[in-house]
Structure 1
Amino acid sequence: MNRIVVVGASAAGLAAAETLRREGYEGTLTLVGDEPLAPYDRPPLSKQILSGQWRPDRLPLRTPTDLAALDLDLRLGVAATGLQLTERTVRLADGTALPYDGLILATGVRPRRLPGEGAHVLRTLDDALTLRDSLGRGRRLVVVGAGFLGAEAAATARRLGAEVTLLEPAPVPLAHAVGAEVGRMLARVHRDEGVDLRCGTTVTEVTEDGVLLASGEVVEADEVLVAIGSVPNTAWLDGSGLAVGDGVVCDAYGEAARNVYAAGDVARWYNPLFEASMRIEHRTNAAEMGMAVARNLLAPEARRPFAPVPYFWSDQYDMKVQAYGFLRGHDEVAVVERALAERRFVAVYRMGERVSGALAVGMAPKAIRGWRQAVATGAGWHETVSPGDRPVLRP
């Protein structure tokens, strides 16, 4: 294999490129990124960058020296616009055609938007800096969407002194992901911090004065942040022949077609650990999958299924949320350490008869690490979580 192209210059794409070199690949290695910046970390955008705690120069994932050592054909500030599988060619927005023997797709996601003009989104460094320059004490911010990104941004803006209204269409924020009771606890934290959290509220449009609700009410704001989820960046693959369905569809090895793999937020793959197809938008998963598919591409005779225990974290106010496993679609939740009322606890999730995940709020990392093994081994629920002495919550 003489020419490998990695499309996407963020965590997954960089991890793939580094792994290829580490595993001994010496051929031409092209890394394509639509942003003009070298690969940088995105989780701090809604926290340290938005708050002004960090300068942008802390974001790069590698130093210029480290990047140079990879001997990359680096194509930054130019998007991929098409893929021809039969010709094994990637086309770029500048008209370039890149031939490849192996290809890794790591194009990530883009924010969903609402009708209307003037709203912020939060995906790139420019997005974060533009929003940060608009915030301050007494400024009115409406955040549409109380998922983890919206909640983090709301918490950061509140600490900056902004008046924050957080609008969420679901009855309970994040209930689909963490369960209704945990979602209610997180909602109480925001309200106690002074956020005007309104659930069961649908926004139809961004207006000059703020946002228009389905009820006809206008919620006025100086700034609006739309955080209603993301869309995988797959439009450029239209007509390529690759299967696309809420992401690039891959097998258990991350392969989408012969010698074509996908990694990170854009990849939908079959995770044999949970016997489910999944697409995960978390920083840790992106890096781990980038490494895994790079190895599988280089050594197909020794390739291994990508079967991770997903991990994610979120920082809101002084509270850290950490989770292992696959929490969506769970059947039961049980608190196994401390209590929700304390806002310090560990909760464990059941799917079928197995432990499928664990979540900790306000606890040291070691409090939840042991549960990772239970998820990884598919530990039985009844053998692991003692019945009767654990408060069971509604899913």
Structure 2
Amino acid sequence: MRSVVVVGASAAGLSAAETLRREGFEGTLTLIGEELDAPYDRPPLSKQILAQEWEAGRLALRTVEQLTALRLDLRLGVRATALDTASRVVTLADGTAIGYDGLVIATGVRPRTLPGSGAHVLRTLKDALDLRERLRPGTRLTIVGAGFLGAECAAVARGIGCDVVMLEPAPVPLAHAVGEQIGRFLSGVHRSHGVDLRTGVGVDAVADGGVRLADGTLVESDEVLVAIGSVPNTEWLDGSGLTVDDGVVCDEFSAAGPDVFAAGDVARWHNPLFGTPMRIEHRTNAAEQGMAAARNLLWPDGRKPFAPVPYFWSDQYDLKIHAYGYLRGHDRVEIADGDLADGRFVAAYRRKGRLVGALAVGMPPKVIRPWRQAIAMGGQE
């Protein structure tokens, strides 16, 4: 293998490139990124950047010297537009065709949008800086979507002094992921901090002056943030022969095709630990899967299944939320430690009797870490 192309210059792509060099790959290593910025960290966008606690320079994942040491053919500010797996060629938006012996797809996701114009989304550094410029004490901010991203932004905006309305179509925000009991608890936290959280509300479009609801009501707003989920960036793979279904479909090794692997938010792979396909949009998973994909690409005779216990965290007001496992699809949740009423607890999630996840709120990280091992061991009743 003399040339490897990594499409996507964020956490997963950078992790793959670094692993290839660390594992001894000496050939041509091309890293392609749509954004002009060098690889940077995304979780702080909805936290420290939006809250004006950090400036953009702190987001860089690596220094200029560290990137230089990787000896990359770095192509920033240009999108990949096509893939020919038969000829092993990636085509870029500027018409450049780049051949490869091995390929890692790490193109991530983009925000879902609503009809209308003028709304903010939050995925890139530019998105975060644009929204930050508009938030001032008294700004009327409407957030469409009460998932973790919307909730984090609501917490930051309330800290700035904005008047926040958060709209959610489900009866209980995040119930599909963390269960109704925990979803209601988190809803109560936002309401106690002055967020006007409206559930069971359909949104029709972003309109002049705010958000138009399905019943025709206008929620008057100075600024609107749409946080209703993401779409995997896979359109450039049309006609490539790879299987795409809510992401790039991969096997347990993160392989999507001959010498083609995927990693990070765009990868939908079979996790043998849980026995199910999953696509994880979490920072830790991106880095870990980038490493696994690179190793499995470079050492085909020693491939190892990628079977992690997913991890994510969220900061909302003074609450720290940590979770291990795959909480979706659980059929039972119980408070295993602490007390929901005190806002300090660990919830355990089970499916068919098996422990599949644990979520801690207001607890030190050391409290939840042992649960990771229990999940990895496939804990049963």
> Shared fold by TM > 0.5?
yes
Please state how far the C-alpha of 1:248 moved relative to its aligned partner. Answer: 0.2
Work out whether 1:210 is the aligned partner of 2:210. Answer: yes
Tell me the amino acid that sits aligned with residue 90 of structure 2. V
Three-state SS of the structure 1 residue aligned to 2:49 is helix
- CA deviations on 1:33-81 (whole Å, 9 max, x unpaired) are 0000000000000010001000100000000000000000000000000
Alpha-carbon distance between aligned partners in 1 of 2:202 and 2:160, rounded to the nearest angstrom? 26
Partner of 2:227: 227
Residue 336 of structure 1: CA displacement?
A: 1.1
RMSD: 0.4
What residue number does 1:75 align with?
Answer: 75
Measured in 2, the distance between the counterparts of 1:161 and 1:351 equals 41
The Cα shift of 1:151 comes to 0.3
What is the alpha-carbon distance in structure 2 between the residues aligned to residue 353 and residue 181 of structure 1? 19
Spell out, residue by residue over 1:152-209, the C-alpha distance to the aligned partner (whole angstroms, 9 max, x if none): 0011011000000000000001000000000000000000000000000111100011
Partner amino acid for 1:369?
Answer: R
Q: Matches of residues 26-45 of structure 1 in structure 2 within 5 Å?
A: 26-45=26-45
Equivalent runs, 1:51-70 vs 2, <5 Å: 51-70=51-70
Quick check: 1:250 aligned with 2:250? yes
Q: Shift of residue 353 of structure 1? A: 1.8
Deviation at 1:5, TM superposition (A): 0.1
Q: CA deviation at 1:134?
A: 0.3
Match in the other structure for 2:87: 87
Residue identity in the other structure for 2:188: R
Separation in 2, partners of 1:347, 1:286: 25
Runs of at least 5 residues in structure 1 that lack an aligned partner in the other structure: 383-395
2:377 matched residue in structure 1: 377
2:13 counterpart residue number:
13
Counterpart in the other structure of 1:312 = 312
Question: Does the alignment pair 1:337 with 2:317?
Answer: no
In the alignment, structure 2 segments of 5+ residues that lack a partner are none
Instruction: Determine helix, strand or coil for the equivalent of 1:206.
Output: strand
Q: Following the alignment from structure 1 to structure 2, what is the Cα–Cα distance between the partners of residues 25 and 203? A: 50
Residue 217 of structure 1 and its aligned partner are, at CA, apart by 0.5
Q: Residues 239-298 of structure 1: CA distance to partner in whole angstroms, max 9, x if unpaired?
A: 111100000000000000010000000000000000000000000000000000000000
**Which position in structure 2 is the counterpart of 1:386?**
none
Instruction: Give the letter aligned to residue 63 of structure 1.
Output: T
Secondary structure of the 2:50 match is helix
Amino acid at match of 1:145: G
Residue of structure 2 equivalent to 1:387: none
- Local SS of the residue matching 2:122: coil
Residues 81-125 of structure 1 deviation map (CA, whole Å, 9 limit, x = unaligned): 000011100000011000000000000000000000000000000
Partner of 2:187: 187
> What amino acid is aligned across from residue 74 of structure 1 in structure 2?
L
Q: Which residue of 2 aligns with 1:160?
A: 160
Q: TM-score, normalised by structure 2?
A: 1.00
Residue identity in the other structure for 1:282: H
CA distance in 1, matches of 2:79, 2:56: 23
What amino acid sits opposite 1:102 in the alignment?
A: G
Which AA in structure 1 matches 2:8?
G
Q: Which amino acid aligns with 2:229?
A: G
SS at match of 1:48: coil
Distance in 1 of aligned mates of 2:217 and 2:343: 34
Distance 2:341 2:307 in 1: 35
1:215, distance to aligned residue in structure 2 (A)? 1.1
Residue 249 of structure 1 aligns to a residue in which SS? Answer: strand
Equivalent position SS for 1:110: strand
Match of 2:351 in 1: 351
Structure 2 residue matching 1:49: 3-state secondary structure: coil
CA displacement 1:126-162 (0-9 Å, x = unmatched): 0000000000100000000000000000110110000
Aligned position for 1:97: 97
Task: Measure, in 2, the Cα distance between the counterparts of 1:346 and 1:46.
Answer: 24
Code of the residue aligned with 1:113 in structure 2: it is T
Give me the whole-angstrom Cα distance separating, in 2, the residues matched to 1:210 and 1:240.
Answer: 41
Aligned mates of 1:45, 1:201 — CA distance in 2: 27
Q: What TM-score comes out, normalization by structure 1 length?
A: 0.96
**AA partner of residue 180 (structure 1):** E
Mapping of 1:167-182 within 5 angstroms? Answer: 167-182=167-182
Q: Distance in 1 between matches of 2:86 and 2:334?
A: 51
Tell me the SS of whatever aligns to 2:335.
Answer: strand
- Which consecutive aligned stretches of 4+ in structure 1 deviate over 2 angstroms post-superposition? none
* 2:123 is the alignment partner of 1:134: no
- Other-structure match for 1:302: 302
Q: Number of residue pairs matched? A: 381
